[in-house]
Each structure stands twice: as C-alpha cells, then as structure tokens.
Amino acid sequence: MVQKEAEGELSQLFENQLYKSISLRRSSHEERILKLKKIREWIKTHQEDIRKALWQDFNKPAPEVDLNEIFPVTSEINHAIKNLKSWMAPKKVSTPLPMIGTSAWIQVEPKGRSLIISPWNFPFNLTIGPLVSAIAAGCTAIIKPSEFSPKTSELIARLIRDLFEEDEIAVCLGEVEVSTELLKLPFDHIFFTGSPTVGKIVMKAAAQHLSSVTLELGGKSPVIIDSSADLKDAAQKIIWGKFVNCGQTCIAPDYILVHDSIKDQFIMQAKIQIQGYYDPSFNGIEKSTDYARIINLKHFQRLQNMLNDALVKGGQIAFGGKTEISSKYFEPTLIAAISSEMSVFKEEIFGPILPILTYNNLQEAIDLINSQPKPLALYFFGTNSSHSKKVMDETSSGNMVINDCVLHFLHNELPFGGVNNSGIGKAHGYHGFLAFSNEKGVLKQRVGYNNVSLLRPPYGIKAKQIISSLIKWF
C-alpha cells in the first residue's frame, strides 16, 4: 500500500512526473493504446479480486460490480482504442476570407500533470474511468481514491503499481489530508468526482494555480412522470435506477414528480417492482444478495435522520422504512406526503429513500425544478412528446433521459456531467479525452505573405477603408 502523507513526499512525486509529462507529449496513439490494453487485461485477470473488494467495502453484488464498475471502464477503454487515432489527429479548420492564404488546424496536446480525486460509491469505475481519459490524452496522473472504500482503493493501488512507474501514474491513499496536500500542487488539470461541497474546496484550491478542473458533482436528479406514461415500464426502470447500489448513485432518481391523477397507480407499480427485484419469494429484502448496504455508519445515520425528519414532519411511508444498524441495511423506502421543510426535499438523498411528490400541471413541475440548483440528470417518463420537449426546453440539467434513467452513463458518445452546482466540464469518450487535453489552435502563414500588410502604421486612408469594410462584411 502506498501511503504518501508527508507533504514533501507528495511534492517530490509531483516533481518526478514533470519530465514524464513532457515526454508524453510526443507519445503516439499506439503507445497510449498499449497502456489501455494492459489495464483491460489486468481487469480481466483480476475480475474476481475486484468483485471481492467491492463486496468487502459495502456488499456490492457481483452482477452490479460487473455491470456498473467493470463494464463502463472496459467499454470506455474499447471506445478509446477504436477512436484515439482520430481524436489525436490534427483537425483542419476552414479559412475565413480575411485569412486567405493561411492554413489552420486544431492540434490537441496533453494538458500535462493531472490529479484524479474519486468517490467511494462506484470507486473502481469513477477512478479508472477518468484515468482512461487521462492516458488517452497523454497525461500523467496522481490518483487519490476514497478512504471510505478502502479495499477497492488498495486494489486500485495494486493495479497501478503492477502496470505503471510512479513517475507516470501513482496512487496516494489516505484521508482528506492527503487530498488537501495534493490540492496545494500546481496540477495542469484536476478531475474531481464527489459532492458539490468538496467540489467548491477543489475549485478554490485549483484557482490558486489556475489549474483547469472537471468537477463531476451530485445533487437532486428529478423524475417527472407524465400522465401519458406507461406506469409499469416507468416503475421497472425507476426502481432499478434508484435502488441499484442501494441508492448511492450520483444520477439515481432523487425524487419523483408524478401527475396527481396517476400517483396511486405509480406507487402500486413501484411496490410490485421492489418486491419482484429484491424479494420475489417474500423472505425479506434483507436476505437478498442483490441489494447492497450503506457504505458506513456516518451515512447510515445521515439517512436514518433524513427518514425520521420526514416522518416527524408528516411524511408517509408507502413502502419500506426498515433499517438495521449492525449490518447497515436500509430497506428500499418510498415516502409520500412530502413537504418543502423536510430534508429529503432539501438535500441530496444519496441512499435508498424515494420521495414522491405530485403536480397537477406540467408547468408546476417545471417551476419546481427551476427553483432548485440545476440537476445532474433529469428524467422524463411519458409518450406525450410535446410535454417532453417542453421539459427539455424549459429546464437545465447536465443530462436528460426520456423514458429511462441512469442509462445515459453507459453511452460513450454522450458528454456526461453536470451544470453549475451539479458539475463543471464533461467526461466520457471524446469529451473525457478533451477534458485532459489542450486544444491548441495553430495558424500557418506563408513566408513573404501578410494578410494585414496594408493595415500597418502609418494608417492611411486605404487602411481605414479596409478596416471599415472588414467590420461591415466579415
């Protein structure tokens, strides 16, 4: 295990990556692809170790590890391998008339030394995923995984130690102090995934060095269920998206806004789905090996307080509510009769509690969403396309999904990320590659030719005429 807590050691490690980061500017797509293939191979041969680490961290079921931790990473790798040559190729741009005679293109170059700080909820995916983008872009990286998922963090350290020299990629394990020390260093790019509160700390630290940032944050992602929705289909998708990973998913539906006329039918469908997914034989959901646990006691207590707060303030449990502190088991829970004073309404839930609010006309739902910070994802269920378009046009969110939820994370052609409070910058595929790249605009002029020769001082009448026609026509 690499423990690098001493300030001097961290800055030495950072210094050691300087030479490598410069030499990586010249690395070819083949060299970068080779590194990605090595990671893919390591994952293949250590799949059981990855499953074991995540089970030890919070009982994440093996199929969820395969689907939500491993597959997004291997898919990201495969997508980069397929496209990296074209992503790296100089992109010619057209020549505007006043630039006639020149040629110009966009040359991507690696930003240089990057820092990746990751959370505990999808600790493998959300660490190695951004690393794939960093490697594709030709950056070095120092990785600080979460202290709350220690087994997976140790496994990540092993992966990196097995495949890379520390002057290219290194892992720094430890608590918040390690992040704090790392954030004092002048990284060229910081890719942070975590809460908006810590995102602000990261951005403030980055500002000291004008390091660029990608902030993949959280927030409250709403689900609108229109009166035109197929409720069985909606419930099947929403219940999976909400309770996978025990609700500890940044893009999980945070709350439901269902049309008042179909609320009871939706709740009935939602209960059927929870029962069907996690307890088809009625033995108790706590017996299911397909349902994860809350990561630690701090978060368990936070969620318990949230639930108690809702109940004290008039919330009604429509399903679930059972908890067991010793195993950190928290039943999938639906609550109705929500009011704006409740913490389930005000704070990101990040756990298996699903508040159900109602609306009578779509504008009400839109106004409610617009009165809150912009969400990471917004989900709309319904077949009325003028309603989905209205929601699309009149709200702002990092991503929007119609008639499904969470699925967009796996679409590697789409930019993934938030907007303002839910994030800055985008990840995945080409967008992730660009996050770690500087798009250098290059202009090439012919020797002896000058587009502005007539425009040099002393400014005569001709120069003035040309300048006015430039303003008028171009």
List active site positions.
216
Note whether 350 binds ligand NAD by CB under 6 A.
yes
The CA–CA distances, whole Å, from 94 to 79, 100, 441, 445 equal: 28, 10, 12, 14
d(CA 445, CA 447): 6
| Stretch of 10-18, 61-69, 194-202, 447-455 lying at the interface with ligand NAD (CB under 6 A) | 194-202
Note whether 57 binds ligand NAD by CB under 6 A.
no
Burial 184-216 (b: 16+ CB within 10 A, else e): ebebbbbbbbbbbebbebbeebbeeeebbbbbb
Nearest Cα residue to 469 out of 94, 102, 97, 101: 97
Q: Report, in Å, the least distance between residue 192 CB and ligand NAD.
A: 7
Q: Report, in Å, the least distance between residue 417 CB and ligand NAD.
A: 7
| Stretch of 57-65, 67-75, 212-220, 382-390 lying at the interface with ligand NAD (CB under 6 A) | 212-220
Note whether 130 binds ligand NAD by CB under 6 A.
no
Note whether 217 binds ligand NAD by CB under 6 A.
yes
Report the 10 Å Cβ neighbour count for 324: 12
Our CB check for ligand NAD shows the closer of 21 and 146 to be 146
Q: Report, in Å, the least distance between residue 178 CB and ligand NAD.
A: 7
Closest-CB residue for ligand NAD? 218
Within 139-168, the residues that bind ligand NAD by CB under 6 A are: 144, 146-147
Q: Report, in Å, the least distance between residue 297 CB and ligand NAD.
A: 14
How many residues bind ligand NAD (CB under 6 A)? The answer is: 26
The first and second tokens of residue 174, run together, are 């430890």
Q: Which of 16, 78, 195, 288 binds ligand NAD (CB under 6 A)?
A: 195
The first and second tokens of residue 42, run together, are 């390591």
Within 391-420, the residues that bind ligand NAD by CB under 6 A are: 418
Note whether 4 binds ligand NAD by CB under 6 A.
no
Q: Which of 69, 216, 279, 331 binds ligand NAD (CB under 6 A)?
A: 216
Per-position x/- string for 246-285, each x denoting binding to ligand NAD as judged by CB under 6 A, each - no binding:
----x-----------------------------------
Note whether 106 binds ligand NAD by CB under 6 A.
no
253-259 vs 316-319, strand pairing mode = unpaired
Q: Report, in Å, the least distance between residue 10 CB and ligand NAD.
A: 13
Q: Cα torsion at 448, 454, 458, 464 (round to 10°)?
A: -160
| Contact (CB, 8 A) for 110 and 137 | yes
Note whether 376 binds ligand NAD by CB under 6 A.
yes
**What backbone phi and psi angles, to 5 degrees, belong to 93?**
-115, 155
Q: At what angle do helices 47-58 and 150-163 cross, to 10 degrees?
A: 150
d(CA 178, CA 157): 15
The first and second tokens of residue 323, run together, are 């908890």
Q: Which of 201, 455, 463, 467 binds ligand NAD (CB under 6 A)?
A: 201
Note whether 193 binds ligand NAD by CB under 6 A.
yes
Our CB check for ligand NAD shows the closer of 71 and 459 to be 71
Q: Which of 112, 130, 138, 218 binds ligand NAD (CB under 6 A)?
A: 218
Q: How many residues does the chain have?
A: 474
Q: Report, in Å, the least distance between residue 195 CB and ligand NAD.
A: 4
Our CB check for ligand NAD shows the closer of 38 and 184 to be 184
Q: Report, in Å, the least distance between residue 147 CB and ligand NAD.
A: 5
Note whether 176 binds ligand NAD by CB under 6 A.
yes
String of DSSP letters for 318-337? EE---EETTTTEE--EEEES
d(CA 204, CA 221): 25
Query: In whole angstroms, how large is the CA radius of gyration of the chain?
Result: 25
Q: Report, in Å, the least distance between residue 290 CB and ligand NAD.
A: 21
Nearest Cα residue to 128 out of 62, 46, 207, 12: 46
The structure tokens 């995102």 sit at: 199
Residues that bind ligand NAD (CB under 6 A): 117-121, 126, 144, 146-147, 176, 179-180, 193-195, 198, 201, 216-218, 250, 348, 350, 376, 418, 423
